[in-house]
Structure 1
Amino acid sequence: MTDTTAAVAPETGQSSGRLGGAFWRLWSAAVLSQLGDALRTPALALLAATLSRDPRTIAAVVVAGQLPPLLFGLIGGVYADRWDRRRTMALVDGLRALLVAGFAVLVATGQASIAVLAGCAFLLATLGTFFDASAFAMLPAVVPADRLALANGRLQAGTALARGFVGAPAAGVLFAIAAALPFAVDAVSFAVAALLALTLRPASPGLSKAAGRSPGSMAKPGSMAKPGGRSLWREAGDGLRWIRQEPTLRVITGLTAVTNLAISAMIAVLVLYALDVLGVTEAGYGVFMAAAVVGTLLGALGAGRLARRFGTLAGLRWVLAGQTLALAGLAFSRHPIPGAAALAVFSAGTAMWNALWAAYGQRNVPAELLGRVGSAQRTVGLLTAPVGAALGGFAAQAYGLPVVVYAATAVLALATLGSWRTLSRPVPPDQVG
């Protein structure tokens, strides 16, 4: 299926040359939610460290926040397609605001235990799967179809700002002032995000103006598209079935899973690689990692331009090629400066990839299926991450740190070659994502 779309006007009434006010309200709601996550995650780790010095206990809190996307990601997609997406986003962030506010009170009164921390992390991450699925599926209803890559890039940039430049640094400062303070600010951010979501016009799945068409390989796409009236798990599998039967999405999802395997292996040992191989000092590690944040921001801002220049599918191929070269540069670097530069370029590619694959799906999947398909793509991509991290740790122990980065580079090189063969169909210049 080629990257095609009908010329539909989004709910904003804006021309295709603008993102429009509705997008920026959606952007603000999504970024504020990310800011809350960026404040809360390190604050939870710091709080856990004040309650226990057992690494297994600290890890349990981290794992509690990482499990829900794998356990409930597909379910979140179902309800993004069943319910009005604007109201779902508002309801979820309203519930998260109440939950975090209550948790802040427990912290302030000294009643927060490790079990409470883990439970809070689990519940918030579970609610987050519903918000993310709805926000992803809502975007085509507020943005012109030919600006989706640009819009996704702006969302990626906002996330980079919220997480790298604001949330993470602020979390430590707020926690030092008062342990409950970062959680109180988190609650306020969720409440404001919920109000912003309510300012969007209602966009039920059946009325959202997405431009997707059913892939010709599917005999009865309509029977799978309509949400409701069937078992929850049957609907949850619709996204996976759509990906399996749509060749281009299947390739993109497979490439995402493969590259995540390699990237997770590299990230698992990155701190040791920076310190022991590149010669980064402990004091300079924060500056070294800031290169990744800068790269992510620049890549996100450049995603729209890349899509306009090459088209969505060709852009994905070039992104993989650039990431392979960047990772090779990191593998052969033995000094902090070229290593940081390579990491920045690699991170820019990650942001571009995320923006482009999202734009392709938002243009080519029917609106009533978009929540389930987007959630299925994210879930499949996440499944390989823990495997890659475990493999990276074992390989580094057995063969040394450089071998992990060399192996990750080889995997990305193979993925790039595969993408050049499987994502080679031309996209008309007036139909880029």
Structure 2
Amino acid sequence: MTDTTIPSTPDATDRRTIPADGTDGRPGVAGLGGAFARLWTAAVVSRLGDTLRTPALALLAASVTRDPRAIAAVVVAGQLPPLLFGLLGGVYADRWDRRRTMAGSDALRAVLVGGFALLVATSEVHVGVLAGCAFLLATLGTFFDAAAFAVLPALVPADRLAVANGRLQAGTAMAGGLVGAPLAGVLFAVGAALPFAVDAVTFAVAALLALTLRPIVASSRPPGPTVHRRVAWRAAGDGLRWIWRDRTLRQITLLAMVTNLATSGLIAIIVLYALDVLKVPATGYGLFMSAAVFGALGGGLLAGRIATRLGTLPGLRSVLGAETLAIATLAVARHPVPGAIALAVFSAGTASWNALSSTYGQRNVPVEMLGRVGSAQRTVALLAAPVGAIGAGVLGSAAGLSSVLYAATAVFALVTVVSWPMLHRGVEVESGRP
């Protein structure tokens, strides 16, 4: 399934720098060990801070100006860095100690957002400062995300990666949707600076937790020119080249990009669809959207079982089929209850897909390439998001909101059909790897 000029997997001694059982002698989340428990807590705490800060930035921007263009600029400033610097973050995740990269990124974010909280508490903040803060925080986040993705195979056994990724998906969904989002408005009402102060604390805690991990380097092999001596921007393309040469990984990445078009389109119009088509009361919209949170929580927890019973690649095919049925149900639903159930199932499928696709990459990409390959996959998927959102807006205005759901259903149905023979060809390859 892969180009024979590139090794399909590293030697077993290169895959981790701690004992092969993935534990450090203490129990952890889902029995995955104390090291994973600390990584999981760091990721969840960081996610909690993100979901406090993001709506608080929007509320603060609205209190400074009512110009939609200025408020949109703050939002866009937080969305650009993963596209601009995502590949570069992967390069440094492969060059530096991944534990220190995670800790350093969150420590810098703690200082930055802590200073911003002090500024908000003591003086009037210009919208340009809001945009700058959002941009810098998101830029540092690309380095944290790349290192966190690449570090996981060093903390848990290969046969437990699907469970670990699922627990990460479930934990971040819980922190973001069940805790962070409702709490953000309450904290902002108490004091505009308070959500940012709490966010600074979450980053500091995550940084300290990352430092408790053992030093984790990209490879036990001596540093080669592909890791340390090349210009960073040239090395940034290594992940894209690896994906292109590995047929199964290329197929997974392209499938994710296409479905992301439909998913981002759904996200763009979901509030209008819920209110106007499903007739969700405005006061019940938060409750309606909580279905997506519970769905993601369940999907993350199920990912390990799916991988165990079906295998990673067959599991991806099944998840796509479930998402197609869910979005088709959402397209024909005209009542909040079936709409919420369909949304929950779709969200569960998304969380399971993320966990299973991450697992495949972490098992089959050499450890010294994980940062670059993982970042390349995320960047390719993110490129589709604005296209899908814009397309949904144009289609919804021209043909009605339901047409967006029908189009999304068609996209998922096509991808499901195409993926069946694609991912089937990779099953045998995957089963022969650790």
Is 2:163 the counterpart of 1:157? Answer: no
Q: Give the superposition deviation at 1:232.
A: 1.4
Deviations 1:287-307 (A, max 9, x none): 110000000000000000000
Structure 1: segments with no counterpart, 5+ residues: 209-221
The answer (yes or no) to whether the contact 1:12–1:21 under 8 Å persists in 2 is: no
Deviations 1:362-409 (A, max 9, x none): 011111110000000000000000000000000000001111100000
Q: Give the superposition deviation at 1:132.
A: 0.2
Label 1:82 to 1:280 Cα distance change in 2 as closer, same or farther (>3 A). Answer: same
Q: Give the superposition deviation at 1:207.
A: 3.1
Give the aligned partner of residue 44 of structure 2.
31
Give the aligned partner of residue 303 of structure 1.
303
| 1:204-353 mapped onto 2 (5 Å cutoff) | 204-207=217-220, 226-353=226-353
| 1:103-118 mapped onto 2 (5 Å cutoff) | 103-118=116-131
SS of the aligned residue for 1:269 comes to: helix
CA distance in 1, matches of 2:265, 2:210: 37
Q: Give the superposition deviation at 1:111.
A: 3.2
Give the aligned partner of residue 414 of structure 1.
414
CA distance in 2, matches of 1:22, 1:231: 33
Give the aligned partner of residue 214 of structure 1.
none
Give the count of matched residue pairs: 419
Give the aligned partner of residue 138 of structure 1.
151
Q: TM-score, length-normalised on structure 2?
A: 0.93
Give the aligned partner of residue 176 of structure 1.
189
The answer (yes or no) to whether the contact 2:10–2:367 under 8 Å persists in 1 is: no
CA distance in 2, matches of 1:250, 1:30: 27
Is 2:126 the counterpart of 1:120? Answer: no
Deviations 1:250-271 (A, max 9, x none): 0000000000001111211111
Give the aligned partner of residue 86 of structure 2.
73
Q: Give the superposition deviation at 1:10.
A: 5.1
CA distance in 1, matches of 2:430, 2:399: 47
CA distance in 1, matches of 2:61, 2:318: 42
Q: Which amino acid aligns with 1:48?
A: A
The answer (yes or no) to whether the contact 1:5–1:145 under 8 Å persists in 2 is: no
Deviations 1:8-30 (A, max 9, x none): 78555373794111011111111
The answer (yes or no) to whether the contact 2:17–2:217 under 8 Å persists in 1 is: no
Q: Which amino acid aligns with 2:296?
A: T
The answer (yes or no) to whether the contact 1:61–1:117 under 8 Å persists in 2 is: yes
Label 1:362 to 1:145 Cα distance change in 2 as closer, same or farther (>3 A). Answer: same
Label 1:427 to 1:309 Cα distance change in 2 as closer, same or farther (>3 A). Answer: farther
The answer (yes or no) to whether the contact 2:294–2:344 under 8 Å persists in 1 is: yes
SS of the aligned residue for 1:283 comes to: helix
SS of the aligned residue for 1:284 comes to: helix
Deviations 1:305-324 (A, max 9, x none): 00001000000000000000
Structure 2: segments with no counterpart, 5+ residues: 3-7, 23-29
The answer (yes or no) to whether the contact 1:39–1:182 under 8 Å persists in 2 is: yes
CA distance in 2, matches of 1:74, 1:62: 21
CA distance in 1, matches of 2:259, 2:96: 33
SS of the aligned residue for 2:227 comes to: coil
Give the aligned partner of residue 60 of structure 1.
73
The answer (yes or no) to whether the contact 2:56–2:188 under 8 Å persists in 1 is: yes
Q: Which amino acid aligns with 1:423?
A: L
Give the aligned partner of residue 21 of structure 2.
15
Give the aligned partner of residue 217 of structure 1.
none
Give the aligned partner of residue 5 of structure 2.
none
Q: Which amino acid aligns with 1:35?
A: L
Q: Give the superposition deviation at 1:110.
A: 2.1
Percent same amino acid at aligned positions? 68
